[in-house]
Amino acid sequence: MADVKRVERPLSPHLQIYRVQMTMAASIMVRITGNALIVGIGLAVWWLLAAATSPEYFATANAVATSWFGDLVFTASAWAVWFHYLGGLRHLYFDAGKGLDIATAEKLGWGMYLGSVVLTVITILLVQ
């Protein structure tokens, strides 16, 4: 049998030869935000269950939900909802066979980030 010389090659996709693209980053962030929403939902469910349990337990849950930590969790959850929603719209657009060229796909990715921040600010202003 012939003597085969193995060539040393990097694993593909390797970070030395593969750069992070906006469409990839936006898609990964959609998955992360979908999973991160569990924290906000958990805090809201705990608050509702505490309200149904007793006034003392509700006072504890309400103190956490209305503290800086609760504000941070609910604000991040609002951003995650909008980002996840815009990601769904982007995929719906892709499923229609539109926006698949690189320039448009990157603009849609940046639009998800910018749009989710703007919509979160609008949501906070409307809720207050």
Taking the C-alpha atoms of residue 58 and residue 63, their distance in angstroms, rounded to an integer, is 8
What sign does the CA torsion over 67, 69, 70, 74 have?
positive
The predicted pLDDT at position 128 comes to 82
Work out the angle at residue 35's Cα, subtended by the Cα atoms of residues 47 and 111, and round it to the nearest 5 degrees.
110
Predicted local confidence at residue 60, as pLDDT? 97
pLDDT, tens digit, for every residue of 18-74? 778 899 999 999 999 999 999 999 999 999 999 999 999 999 999 999 999 999 999
Distance CA 100, CA 91 (A): 10
Question: Could you tell me if 50 and 57 are in contact, meaning their C-beta atoms sit under 8 angstroms apart?
Answer: yes
User: Which domains are present in the chain?
Assistant: 33-127 (1.20.1300.10)
Does the pLDDT at position 2 exceed 90? no
By CB neighbour count within 10 A (0-12 exposed, 13-18 middle, 19+ buried), where does 108 fall? buried
CA atoms within 13 A on the CB side of 96: 7
Residue 66 DSSP one-character state: T
Report pLDDT for 9.
67
- Residues, the chain: 128
Does the pLDDT at position 6 exceed 60?
yes
